[in-house]
Structure 1
Amino acid sequence: MAYEWKELALEDQPRNPLADFALNVMARFTAAEIGLSNEHRPMDRSSDFDQQWWLALVSVTPGLSIAGLMERAADFLPPDHPGSLVIPGEYSEDFRNRQDIDVITLYARRDYLNAANAANGAEQLGIETLLVSTPLESQTLSSPAEPFTPPDLKVPVTPNTVVTAVIDHGVAIAHDLFRRKDINGDLVLSRVDFFLDMDGTPDPNAPVPSTIGRVWTGPEINEILKNNLHNGLLDDAAVYRDLGLIDWKTRPFNACAHRLSHGTHVTGLASGYDASDADGLERRIIVVQLPTRLVANTLGFGLEQAIEQAMSFISQQLVHFQVDEVEQQMPLVVNFSFGNFMGPHDGTGEVSRSIDTIMSNMEASSNRPRLLMMPSGNGNLSRCHAVINLTQAAPTAELDWQLQPADRSASILSVWLPVMTPVKDNTVTMQVTVPGFDTPRTLTAGMTPSYNWLTEQDHLGNTIILGLVVYQPPVAPTARGKFTIAVVPTDNPMRVGLVAPSGDWKLQFVKGNAVDKLSLNIWVQRDETLPDFPEFGRQSYLSDPSYTRFNVPGGKVISEDPVAHASPVRRAGMINGIACGNLPAVIAGYVSSDGRMSAYSAGGPTLNGFRLTGPDASAVSDDSVVLHGVLSAGSNCGSRVSMSGTSVSTPRVARWVADQFAQSPTTPFGRGNVVAKALNDDPPSPHKPSAFRTGGGRMELRNIFGSLRWPGQ
């Protein structure tokens, strides 16, 4: 069968090609995975793809309120339609009537999202832009008709209390490091005051209502702990069954049943204390557990979209803390140890804007400091970033994109133009040649969008879409044009029909006469399978013969671009794509034994003028070159396990930030304070790593559980 290219007419083009790709092109793969996960599962779980609910992060038309958004949705849907839009009940009546909102979260079915993504979506439904997730588990979503009534809860704390919030997955909240003793000396009082399990089933009788998942309060958690404590020992598995964190009947993957769970390890570093440690009594915890289906999805759709609802939940719970029966908001440090490779990397994306808005609002409503901690990412060696420089002397450049065989995840690549409004015709063209197909597809940058499908006919004569190649002109606030290539998986365990060709996808860029020189930034989406998850995604990557991976002789990996680096494929600039906003403190990782940056730790520069160097600081993410990772809490009480990555260096700094808040709870504190600490700990010297990799420097922080590996840590 031969491949064919088809270009959509302007009026038929969706505004966000990746949303269209997730909702429609990937439908047969996603539906197959839903059907596979529903095998031998409860009958009330729908396998109908059109009935699935999706989390969407959307920006609203300026001047339109959420109430207006709901009115337009009601006009769009026929009277007898069961409904395709859910507005979170956490949004108050006042917030729903505001006309100055930017980015919000909503839950919707495919028909609504496709209409919002259509060419007239902004005019018809009031949606300017949208990012969509992979489908949610339907039983985790409720449909509140009205905003929730704020619960009347009181959480008594001391004036020195600091709240640490962790947004993660697989958080074993009953671990002994997150508990304190009652008056009888039993370790049955949790320091987790609020726990939003986005995998949970909403309970209308719960003290804190929720649109997605189940919220557990401190007293509820304490009651479960007491019921499962026997002779001073906790039955971990029974606790997590009661909380719904281990439930083999409804999902095949339960992180808290594993020896190592990412969220438990991270929370242990951020706020894990022995019951006898006095500091632990003043460190209260809020946990948001991300949906398993979003975390497991190797395509990368949706994980970061959930952060808006997570941050909003955390913000709303701060009002319940009281000192001497008087409401008092506590200092707050938030840890979000996830990231991706994609995005504009300049802080103008929907996720970055949402983070900055929520953090600004939280700080403005209180005289207490708030800080969000994020990792720089682990993609330094992934070969997922390239910079193409086109000049009059060298107007043409070529690059290969390698799609691996047996890859059960989609592969996505984006090419960002520099800030340029308008983009003149004949600025640059991109040519894509598919493996096994000699006819390339050429797209030209300008102010007119172009949307192209790569198709093939199956043995029945049906036309199957295998991928898309798109050009989008600049859209505010990211005033840069973008080419996008999205390709379906090269394999699938179920019979879903044709898959994409693996191999060498050839890209050619040609500068036109409209500009004298041009710099293009290329990023490949992260799509490898996360540790312990059963799905099998294989990372696609950029290939160029002049890219040198290893030193000769010796074969040691090269972790920084050499001075005379001739390849367009770069290690530099692989910083976490959602950690490029103005407010989060971004942390890289280094090896304790020799002080070198961990080879995987990603760095800058970013394209955000407020944080050109990339990370703000670095902390230990590996104890030594042979003892990888650092120790922290395992899933079971009393256990300690090792995990590496910038995911573990970040909560170590979050713990230090909490200590600073405790010493001065009303003093303003931001990422600049983190940079200052790093500069003080690691002043300039000939042996100091590049600022693009380490930020201000390598922070010297106490190794919390290091003495278990060797004395003196």
Structure 2
Amino acid sequence: MYAQRPPEERIDRYAGPYERWVFSEELGRPYAFPAIRQPEARHMAAILEGDGDPSQMKDAETRLPPLWPPQAAGHAVTPFVFRNDNEVDLSPDRALAKRLGTLTAPDLSPRVRLNMPLDAASWVETYAPETPAAQWRRPARTPKAILGVIDNGLPFAHRAFLDTNGKTRISHLWLQSARALPSDRVPVGREITNGEIDALRTAHGADERRLYRSVGAIDGDMPEVGRLLDHHATHGGHILGLAGGNGARLPGPELGDDIQIVAVQLPNTVAWDTSGFGKEMFMLSALHYIFARASEIARDCGVAGELPLVVNFSYGWSAGRHDGRSEMEAAIQQMLARRRQVQPETAVVMPTGNTFDSDMHARVAASDFEEGTARVGWRLLPDDRTSSYLEIWLPEEFDPQGWQVRLIPPPGSGPLTGTAIDISADPELDPVGDLRRFVELERDGHNLGQLSVDFHRGSRWRVIVAMIPTAETGTDRRLPSGLWTIEIARGHGTPIGESEALYLWLQRDDDPRALGMGGRQSHLEGASGMVRGFGCLSAICSAPDATRVAGLQGGTGQPAAYSSGGGLDRLSGNPVAWGAQPDFAALSDQGPSRPGLPSLGTISGSGARLVGTSAAAALASRWMVSNAASGKALQDGLAPLPLLPPGDARILRAARLGRGRVPIEL
């Protein structure tokens, strides 16, 4: 049973539904990723939205990562890390609530999103962000463009990233979760620059894995680095190779010495956890780092102004607003808008996602309500060892007074309490930031789930249902598997309009093999046309200026079966697009019998294949940065899509593939 807390120890006053679930021992903490289950959370990552100042946190050392532009008046979202060495004899959620409470001020109401705890060994004791990089060297050729890559397991010593003189083209690298040096230009982890990479390659010769161990890029004692680069292949190695490598396994065009690379290696949990929780600080600080180091390269190479910049960001999650106004999307949009004022050839390239055929999205229209209630099935599979999440988003500015969401469990589940939640604020919570309400789903006093409501960013109501695993996990709790029914009842409230809808998304529940978490993907079931693939784009790629890349199947010209599509509604019988749509497509499968694309393994000379729209985005980034270095517009030369098959509607194809395709074949 969820115990009541004093107001100053209620994490739900200062943070959102995911934080309450993940950090509370009675709720979802026993089933979270290992990094989140650390016994003490003295080093933490977080983001702060709006005009708040992280330095207001009392009894804590707070740090900002390198931000771009450094002289900006303010950021839509500020990533930061903090350390508190004071002994706090409280559970993690209570201790974090007390610390977050010190961020508030009479004239501020900041929204705080807690992220993952940090390994104490990754905390840099002397953070010196303004210090010049001692081992950075100026490239032999003046750069004409910068490629940024954000991913995991980056094989930065691979020969595919050498220039024609045998020197690395990777100018700067930030290993965000590596064991820290005593002093560094990044607040956590370690920065490595081109001169150090070249010296390491000389010292270690062909033994690249020994090189990685020497700098902490392979470190079994640091779980967020781990032994990923001991594996044959990594997601990051594949993406870095497709976007920025040269070699026999890689596509053209060959990238010249005038394209420099700035890369950020994310912590393993950030890369692998697909719930959407705990990533924003690391991702936003990675973007800021790449923007800041691109400015540094231009300055130190005598380039007037900013260089063209293409950032490949092959990550995302499935549930969210999908309207461009989440914290991540607002931050990405602000950064793109600011940089394009001084350098129009700037892009953040993102995959559309891989969930089109996974039944993870549903649209509930006014016509789906019968006697004031709409129903959607949520099938939770047996032997799922991780938490499962469902989000329901109401129309923006819609007043849901009188509305309620109810859960109907599978037959044989026994008597449950907390199966319904009103879509309204809890008057007793007195939250800082968004209005919210919480209800615990319980059986015999044991928690099975959490129902929550929040007025997200003060503009749109959201319902989240979080469930514990359906497998035995060593606790005394297990969720009944089977078909749960989500009932959305409007009660005496105002109906939604004929052109409005409620949107449901599930979070992905992938199982990273390196962790063996045992996740099994749930899915939605509903009336014909309710559950759909259209509208299942990645939840962080809807910023207006982001570049969204879909996956194309070679040989057929058809969308890859998994490639997520833009939103479509049917009004008066005709499909009408809503929300973000793919900008264009690139190969993600070589053909019906050749899934995926070839790229690099972790060691020079090795290769691997990757299936998914991440590969398509990397291919697009390669093409765009090559254009920039040639003095062309980023999307110059976009090829037309194949002719429409008979009876295929143009708007349906645009929702899957956008307006063209990257002219790179494999």
Q: TM-score range by the shorter chain?
A: 0.7 to 0.9
Q: Which residue of 2 aligns with 1:572?
A: 534
How far apart, CA to CA, are the structure 2 residues paired with 1:93 and 1:594? 44
How far apart, CA to CA, are the structure 1 residues paired with 2:577 and 2:137? 39
Per-residue deviation, 1:298: 4.8
- Secondary structure at 2:540's aligned position in 1? coil
TM-score by length of 2: 0.84
TM-score by length of 1: 0.79
Q: Which residue of 2 aligns with 1:307?
A: 283
* C-alpha distance 278-16 of structure 1, shift in aligned 2 (>3 A): closer
The answer to whether the aligner puts 1:509 opposite 2:483 as a matched pair is no
Which residue, out of 42, 49, 59, partners 2:39?
49
* C-alpha distance 142-465 of structure 1, shift in aligned 2 (>3 A): farther
Matches within 5 A, 1:26-65: 28-29=29-30, 33=34, 49-60=39-50, 62=51, 64=52
Flag structure 2 segments of 5+ consecutive residues without an equivalent.
Answer: 85-91, 427-435, 570-575
Which residue, out of 420, 438, 446, partners 1:451?
438
* C-alpha distance 125-341 of structure 1, shift in aligned 2 (>3 A): farther
How far apart, CA to CA, are the structure 1 residues paired with 2:300 and 2:425? 61
How far apart, CA to CA, are the structure 1 residues paired with 2:597 and 2:485? 41
Per-residue deviation, 1:176: 1.6
* C-alpha distance 610-351 of structure 1, shift in aligned 2 (>3 A): farther
Q: Which residue of 2 aligns with 1:73?
A: 57
How far apart, CA to CA, are the structure 2 residues paired with 1:353 and 1:299? 20
Q: Which residue of 1 aligns with 2:573?
A: none
Q: Which residue of 2 aligns with 1:487?
A: 467
Tell whether the 8 Å contact from 1:164 to 1:271 is kept in structure 2 after alignment.
Answer: yes
Q: Which residue of 2 aligns with 1:442?
A: 420
How far apart, CA to CA, are the structure 2 residues paired with 1:277 and 1:682? 22
Flag structure 1 segments of 5+ consecutive residues without an equivalent.
Answer: 36-46, 78-82, 458-462, 547-565, 707-713
Q: For this pair of structures, how many residues does the alignment match?
A: 622
Question: Could you report, residue by residue, the CA deviation over 1:645-675 in whole angstroms, capped at 9, with x for unpaired residues?
Answer: 001011111111112212226x6x5xxx47x
- Secondary structure at 1:114's aligned position in 2? helix
Q: Which residue of 2 aligns with 1:500?
A: 479
Tell whether the 8 Å contact from 1:619 to 1:700 is kept in structure 2 after alignment.
Answer: yes
The answer to whether the aligner puts 1:540 opposite 2:522 as a matched pair is yes
Q: Which residue of 1 aligns with 2:214?
A: 242
How far apart, CA to CA, are the structure 2 residues paired with 1:157 and 1:658? 19
How far apart, CA to CA, are the structure 2 residues paired with 1:402 and 1:99? 47
Which residue, out of 680, 695, 708, partners 2:658?
695
- Secondary structure at 1:352's aligned position in 2? helix
Matches within 5 A, 1:47-446: 49-60=39-50, 62=51, 64=52, 66=53, 69-70=54-55, 72-74=56-58, 77=59, 83=60, 85-88=61-64, 90=66, 100-108=74-82, 110=92, 113-115=96-98, 122-123=104-105, 126=108, 128-142=110-124, 148-149=130-131, 151=133, 155-156=138-139, 158-159=141-142, 161-182=144-165, 187=166, 189-206=167-184, 209-229=185-205, 234-251=206-223, 253-274=226-247, 279-322=255-298, 326-328=302-304, 329-364=306-341, 366-367=342-343, 369-391=345-367, 395-421=372-398, 423-426=399-402, 428-435=403-410, 436-439=413-416, 441-446=419-424
Per-residue deviation, 1:692: 1.1
* C-alpha distance 414-325 of structure 1, shift in aligned 2 (>3 A): closer
Per-residue deviation, 1:100: 3.3
* C-alpha distance 389-143 of structure 1, shift in aligned 2 (>3 A): farther
Per-residue deviation, 1:504: 2.5
Matched residue type, 1:339: G
How far apart, CA to CA, are the structure 2 residues paired with 1:55 and 1:106? 6
Matched residue type, 1:107: V
Which residue, out of 634, 649, 655, partners 2:622?
655
Question: Could you report, residue by residue, the CA deviation over 1:41-81 in whole angstroms, capped at 9, with x for unpaired residues?
Answer: xxxxxx86233533212213x3x4x3xx42x312xx4xxxx
- Secondary structure at 2:663's aligned position in 1? coil
* C-alpha distance 635-29 of structure 1, shift in aligned 2 (>3 A): same
Cα RMSD for the two superposed structures? 3.4
Identity in percent: 23
- Secondary structure at 1:281's aligned position in 2? coil
The answer to whether the aligner puts 1:467 opposite 2:449 as a matched pair is yes
- Secondary structure at 1:133's aligned position in 2? strand
Matched residue type, 1:19: E
How far apart, CA to CA, are the structure 1 residues paired with 2:107 and 2:125? 20
Tell whether the 8 Å contact from 1:164 to 1:284 is kept in structure 2 after alignment.
Answer: yes
How far apart, CA to CA, are the structure 2 residues paired with 1:637 and 1:161? 26
The answer to which of 502-511 and 437-446 deviates more is 437-446
